[in-house]
């Protein structure tokens, strides 16, 4: 069973170190099912290894699982706090040994795209929230007056006042929802009733005027190809 020791090794391979126990792992294809071959199964690391190939494990490509058991990790650079689901919450980033928040000045769709991309979610489905919607944080305010293009790999790559330079309080802490649309009651992950998340609630979309173009937008938000889709608005 994939655990925190395995996560530690994966994050170490990516250049991150677990200095405060902030890393996390997720099972059951938390960020969606992968494609292609399954390379490793029954991974059993001590947490001291530099590479997963050094851990006890089944042979490469030998497994008895499917992509519904794909594992995911968060190496602790960014996290979402105080949400009801893993994909929503107050944005906090880890800089210089401590967790801090981001002010909502300038925090819009492009900035939400970057945060959600850092967490492994589709950028297209991200929604920004302002005014400490997910509660006020504590500790340092790390960034203010952000200006992102939405394509940056890290939120610190965006223009800002500089780390820890701000003119705001925690009542302006920014938040995001990274999965603002979902498919429900389908047989497979890629089909189902469309539901949209807004202000803490999931709701449906009426089929009036709903057509292929609308379905393409929904599928794009979920990270799927726009083409080859089918929809039922009856």
**Cα(105)–Cα(148) distance, integer angstroms:** 12
Nearest to 55 by CA among 116, 128, 2, 126: 2
Per the domain annotation, does 233 fall within a domain? no
pTM above 0.75, yes or no: no
3-class SS shares of the chain: helix, strand, coil, % to 5: 20, 20, 60
Domain that holds residue 28: 1-75
- Tokens 């999965």 label which residue? 179
Per the domain annotation, does 171 fall within a domain? yes
User: How many structural domains comprise the chain?
Assistant: 3
Same domain, 173 and 84: yes
10-residue mean pLDDT profile of the chain (234 residues): values are 91 71 78 88 94 94 93 83 88 85 93 88 81 94 93 87 92 91 84 82 89 85 66 64
- Secondary structure element (H or E) that encloses residue 100, with its range: strand 98-102
């Amino acid at each position: 069973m994939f655990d925190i020791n395995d996560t530690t090794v994966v994050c170490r391979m990516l250049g991150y170190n677990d200095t405060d126990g902030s890393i996390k792992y997720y099972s059951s294809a938390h960020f969606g099912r992968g494609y292609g071959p399954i390379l490793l199964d029954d991974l059993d690391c001590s947490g001291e290894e530099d590479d997963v190939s050094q851990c006890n494990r089944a042979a490469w490509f030998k497994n008895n699982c499917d992509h519904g058991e794909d594992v995911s990790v968060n190496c602790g650079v960014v996290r979402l706090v105080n949400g009801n689901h893993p994909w929503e919450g107050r944005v906090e980033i880890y800089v210089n040994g401590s967790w801090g928040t981001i002010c909502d000045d300038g925090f819009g769709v492009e900035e939400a795209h970057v945060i959600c991309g850092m967490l492994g979610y589709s950028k297209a489905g991200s929604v920004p929230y302002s005014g400490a919607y997910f509660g006020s944080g504590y500790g340092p305010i790390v960034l203010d007056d952000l200006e992102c293009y939405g394509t940056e790999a890290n939120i610190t790559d965006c223009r800002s006042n500089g780390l820890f330079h701000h003119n705001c309080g925690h009542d302006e802490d920014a938040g995001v929802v990274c999965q603002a649309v979902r498919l429900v009651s389908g047989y497979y992950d890629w089909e189902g009733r469309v539901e949209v998340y807004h202000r803490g609630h999931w709701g449906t979309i009426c089929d009036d005027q709903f057509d292929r173009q609308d379905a393409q937008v929904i599928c794009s938000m979920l990270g799927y190809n726009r083409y080859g889709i089918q929809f039922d608005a009856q």
